[in-house]
Structure 1
């Protein structure tokens, strides 16, 4: 899937098949988490996200055929994954955020999931909640996870009905 984007340049979404591409995914996630998340979370939460999106997990998702990259003019600028009816690991490099790239990627992942499911779930971090709300997602559950040094990760479980019905779990 490709198109020209309003910001200029060719935009493509590719399903990643080669395990050797895991380093590209890790780089996008790592750079984004390190630059964006400290504005929203304490260091323990930032560390949690970096460890959570380990190379092992990324490679498993690639092997399962569940990882996509967003490519702008030949450069990978974002990534997103799916797991059952969940959209996971959506990250756009900080310098490309705010230009509609995240929306473009999420819509592609929704389309993919819409082949099998009537609704989509996301575990939305604080930096992403507003974007998901703009895209029609609604919070169905608030979650908290205790981490080291009494830090707490707070996030929203959000749902979007692909069949036009109300979001409810």
Structure 2
């Protein structure tokens, strides 16, 4: 397993990992309006801007297949996704460890927005809830998530 900085030519794989994970996992936790909101939030422009700003990393398995991605912006972990077929194999943990170690070099706390599907994982990693948000989406659906913090 290895983690490498994503380059502009990696855009398609970062988008594929992000969108495939949202489309397959999030419907188990969120309404359709919220899933569409997530897909629109992680649009081409946002992904490419993060790659161009050297904020995006890719995780590769031993066969050198890209299986996950994480975006790190200052002291914030964003867009941490592992392809559904690779979940449960430690790739998400490796990406989270990598992001936390990277952030700890310059900051004393980590902030993230936790989806419903990831909240329990972050609680086990020592994060605490510091905020809750609810956004009204299409069809009068709501996207709910927690803002979480971890002291380093």
TM-score (norm. length: structure 1):
0.87
Aligned to 2:141: 151
CA-to-aligned-CA distance 1:11-52 (integer Å, 9 cap, x gap): 000011x21211110000111011100000011111111111
Aligned to 1:111: 101
Q: 1:20 & 1:50 partners in 2: Cα distance?
A: 21
1:151 CA displacement: 0.8
Of 26, 35, 40, 2:15 maps to 26
CA-to-aligned-CA distance 1:123-165 (integer Å, 9 cap, x gap): 0000000111111111111111111221111001011111xxx
Of 64, 76, 90, 2:53 maps to 64
User: Does 1 or 2 have the higher relative contact order (CA < 8 Å, sep 6+)?
Assistant: 2
Aligned structure 1 segments of 4 or more residues deviating by more than 2 angstroms: none
The equivalences for 1:37-56 within 5 A come to: 37-56=26-45
List gaps (5 residues or longer) in structure 1. 1-10, 163-169
Give the secondary-structure state (helix, strand or coil) at the position aligned to 1:59. helix
8 Å CA contact 1:22, 1:62 repeated in 2: yes
Aligned to 1:5: none
Flag the structure with higher helix content.
2
Q: 2:135 & 2:72 partners in 1: Cα distance?
A: 22
TM-score (norm. length: structure 2):
0.96
Q: 2:94 & 2:150 partners in 1: Cα distance?
A: 16
List gaps (5 residues or longer) in structure 2. none
